[in-house]
């Protein structure tokens, strides 16, 4: 997985470097580089969580195997193999919990830097327009506001299998 993380990181690095070569406004340049670092760190955290190097029976590793790479079946609590489109309730709640932990801080940081990135003059209209550059909607927004809704989202929205 390290090679995948490295490859993703290298592609992101190249993309952000090409943006920097157009000589952005100094504050914008700094915000862009900081945002690149946030994205790289987030991808590394996701890779480390879902493709842990040690082989243990852990839910995040099984998610990587069954839902991301689709090379092994997921199983319900009673051991029944699930269709690749189905989620067990335990896996679903674990994935959403991990997503919440990993994504919450970077989303806040990107939103903070968006104003600097987009509003060179720092005028009030621009700042208000980009106060929230990235926001979640639907069930993901619901769990960001109230993490106790994770199981409900899994059962009602994703129709997880117990």
pLDDT per position as a tens digit, 62-77 = 666 666 666 777 777 7
Around Cβ 145, how many Cβ atoms within 10 Å?
9
CB-CB contact of 126 with 119 (8 Å): yes
Beta bridge partner(s), residue 75:
81
Can you tell me the distance from the alpha carbon of 88 to that of 64, in angstroms, rounded to the nearest whole number? 14
Taking the model in full, what pTM does it have? 0.58
pLDDT per position as a tens digit, 21-45 = 444 456 667 777 777 888 888 878 7
């Amino acid at each position: 997985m390290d090679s995948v993380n490295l490859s993703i990181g290298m592609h992101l690095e190249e993309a952000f470097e090409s943006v920097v070569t157009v000589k952005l406004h100094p504050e914008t340049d700094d915000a862009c580089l900081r945002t690149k670092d946030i994205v790289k760190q987030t991808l590394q955290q996701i890779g480390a969580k879902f493709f842990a190097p040690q082989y243990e029976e852990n839910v995040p590793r099984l998610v990587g195997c069954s839902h991301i790479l689709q090379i092994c079946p997921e199983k319900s609590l009673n051991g029944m193999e699930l269709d690749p489109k189905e989620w067990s309730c335990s896996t679903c709640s674990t994935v959403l919990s991990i997503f919440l932990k990993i994504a919450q801080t970077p989303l806040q940081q990107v939103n903070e830097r968006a104003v600097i990135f987009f509003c060179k003059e720092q005028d009030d209209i621009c700042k208000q327009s980009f106060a929230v550059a990235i926001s979640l909607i639907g069930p993901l927004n619901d769990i960001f506001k109230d993490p106790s809704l994770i199981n409900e989202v899994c059962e009602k929205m994703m129709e997880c299998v117990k």
